[in-house]
Chain A
Amino acid sequence: MTASKTPTSGAGQPAPEVGFTQRARARLGLLTVVPTLTWWVIFLVLPIGLVLVTAFFKGAPYGEIIYEPGFGNLVRATDPLYLGVLWHSVVIATITTAICLVLGYPAAYFIATRPQARTRTVLLMLVILPFWTNFLIRTYAWIILLNREGVVNGILKRIGLIDEPLSLLYNDAAVVLGLVYGYLPLMILPLYAAIERINPQVLEAAADLGARPLRVLRTVVLPLIIPGVVAGVVFVFVPSLGNIPVPELLGGGRSEMIGNLINRQFLTTRDWPFGSMLVLLLLLILMGLLVLQSLVLRRNRKVRIDD
């Protein structure tokens, strides 16, 4: 027992006590992980499991749950009304993610290619810092800017471009703007990490060996950057898809997303089983995204090896 464990131990252990220390360490190891895992099983796994199960029960008026399993909620969710909101959410989240990628890439590239480490750190910090502040307040800042008596309308009026204030809030564009503003840092961070890892000498070597720029891009740069892109896409898409405050505050009910629908089922309509089914569908979409992610990453690794 003791002997079989020895190879895994670190170097420099005092020999006679190895057995005791190893066993003590193993027990210690269990102690470090078990409390958190227990905590997570009780307060994360069980609750989500409960929601998934509730999705197949029936809701009654006044918020009761009738414990008869069935697919009624699933059938109801395929109503064009709900499917429309689901589709709308996916579209909004996709557009948000695409804009973040387009806006974030040049910034990440710029930061990653600063020659001084200090400049890189400061710029990266500046980009990330807003992300650590209150999300509601950052969303609210856009209400100040865009409402009818807001700053943007005020400026446009003062310079004489418009006579009547424009309705800039309460549409899809305002929702996308709010989401991009909120989650752009989450795109820039992984992109930066990926770009920074590219060694310029490798690019020079590829060019010296006769690779044309496009080929360098395809076989050297892209495979290195794609993991960063994939991470950024997931980081932005996930919180955008299930977002509640932005469509509520900047969309004003006119650009409802799945999160708002879930919110209403739980806190207003009080049809928890149907709300749970919507949560289940949201999770299914996200799992689809994760499958897509692993497919892209696997393909990416193959490209690297093949070429």
Chain B
Amino acid sequence: MTNRGRNPLLVVYMGALLAFLYLPIAILIVLSFNDSKLAMVWRGFSLRWYEELMHDGDMLTSIRNTLVIALIATLISVVFGTLLAFGLERHTRSAALENGVYLPLMIPDVVTGIGLLSFFTAITFPLGTGSVIIAHSVWGIAFAAAIVRTRLRGFDRAVEEASLDLGMREVPTFLRITLPIIWPGIVAAALVVFTLSIDEFIIAYFTAGQTVTFPIQVYSMIRFGVTPEINAVATIMLLFSMVLILTAYLFARPRPGRRSADAEEPTT
């Protein structure tokens, strides 16, 4: 490497950019512990807004709905997505399929949401937990497939062939050889889809009917104005998402010191 990128100005810039990204979140978190209702008056550290949250029945219901939706949508997404990842990586050379797989991620949320609202209404499918689960699985599968696939790409198929050569049948080979190797990818996919599902607002907003998910609850609270209780629930959510995603990252990253194929960059 030459001397490019050693510009002190860029260091300052990077710091400023990270401050821009994190300062608003940090202020939100600090204010959630403020005893005062007013943002500009610090009346001391307090957990009262968190306590209030624990007694907010609507909030707790919305959290329960969201957890149920996220769990089932994640399950569907990971099963279909893992299968799809196998199909794409090993069984097809179709360029159309290759590009089409990422289409669900490219369609704006409002279009997916409106489409499903129209569709569910047309076939008189009841709007609620079930319809949101289906809606979330639509893009969840695409995400899961993409993540599991990166794991499959570094897969050394010789171990599978060795197992087959030694007389183990295909299904046991899959269960005892293939699955354990790609397992971290599947866990990472599950964590990512789960995180996205509990945070997803627009598609749920159009397809939930009378059911209130957690982001929908937060949205209606925000529309009524700034309250410290939102700060408290926001803090919990922010930290929860960050922990889930960092865990997913630890699962998904290639192990250092293992086979080099593991760390191979995906070719475009």
Q: Judge whether A33 and B84 touch: CB under 8 Å.
A: yes
- Give Cα A103–Cα B19 distance, bound, in whole angstroms: 13
Q: Determine whether the beta carbon of A110 is less than 8 Å from that of B108.
A: no
Chain A residue contacts of B246, Cβ below 8 A: 125, 129
**Contact A245 to B202, CB < 8 A, known contacts A36-B141, A48-B115, A50-B122:** yes
Partner of B84, one of A12, A14, A36: A36
The answer on a CB contact under 8 Å between A135 and B201 is yes
The distance in angstroms between the C-alpha atoms of A123 and B226, with both chains bound, is: 32
What separation, in Å, do the CA atoms of A28 and B161 have in the docked complex?
A: 16
Which residue from A43, A137, A245 sits with its C-beta under 8 Å from B134?
A43
In the complex, which residues 22-67 of chain A have their Cβ closer than 8 Å to any Cβ of chain B?
Answer: 24-26, 28-33, 35-36, 39-40, 43-44, 46-48, 50-51, 54
Q: How large is the interface on B (under 10, 10 to 19, 20 to 34, 35 or more residues)?
A: 35 or more
CB of A39 within 8 A of CB of B141, answer yes
Q: Type the 1/0 row for B198-242, where 1 means its CB is closer than 8 Å to any CB of A.
A: 010110011000000001001100110010001100100110011
Decide: B4 and A113 in contact? CB cutoff 8 A: yes
Name B83's closest neighbour in chain A (CB-CB).
A32
Q: Flag the segment in B23-31, B47-55, B56-64, B179-187 that touches A.
A: B23-31
- CA gap between A307 and B157 in the complex, in Å: 41
Return chain B residues, CB-CB under 8 Å to A234.
106
Contact of B114 among A135, A249, A279 (CB under 8 A): A279
Q: What's the Cα separation between A69 and B119 when bound, in Å?
A: 19
Give the complex CA separation of A218 and B226 in angstroms.
50
Q: Which of A110, A140, A259 contacts B230 (CB 8 A)?
A: A140
A154 B39 Cβ-Cβ under 8 A: yes
Is A174 in the interface zone, CB < 8 Å from B?
no
Interface: B155 (CB within 8 A)? no
Q: Quick check: B25 and A141 within 8 Å, CB to CB?
A: yes
Chain B residues, Cβ within 8 Å of A12: 158, 161
The A107-124 residues at the B interface (CB cut-off 8 A) are: 107, 109-115, 123
Q: Which residues of B contact A54 (CB under 8 A)?
A: 118
- Is A133 a contact partner of B241 (Cβ separation < 8 A)? yes
A223 at the interface (CB under 8 A from B): no
Stretch at the interface among A76-84, A144-152, A295-303: A144-152
- The answer to whether B119 and A137 have CB atoms under 8 Å apart is no
B88 proximity list for chain A (CB < 8 A): 33
A127–B22 CA distance with the chains assembled, in angstroms: 9
**A29-B90, A50-B122 known; A132 and B31 CB under 8 Å?**
no
Q: Does B10 contact A (CB under 8 A)?
A: yes
Given the interface pairs A110-B10, A113-B5, the reply to whether A140 lies near B119 with Cβ below 8 Å is no
Docked complex: B72-108 residues within 8 A CB-CB of A: 80-81, 83-84, 86-88, 90-92, 97, 103-104, 106-108
B interface residue numbers (CB < 8 A to A) = 1-2, 4-5, 10-11, 13-14, 17-18, 20-22, 24-25, 27-28, 31, 38-40, 80-81, 83-84, 86-88, 90-92, 97, 103-104, 106-112, 114-119, 122, 134-135, 137-138, 141, 145, 157-158, 161, 164-165, 170, 192, 195-196, 199, 201-202, 205-206, 215, 218-219, 222-223, 226, 230-231, 234, 237-238, 241-242, 245-246, 249
A to B CB contacts below 8 Å, 15 in the list: A13-B161, A24-B170, A36-B141, A39-B80, A109-B10, A110-B14, A125-B246, A127-B21, A130-B21, A135-B201, A200-B2, A245-B202, A259-B110, A262-B114, A275-B114
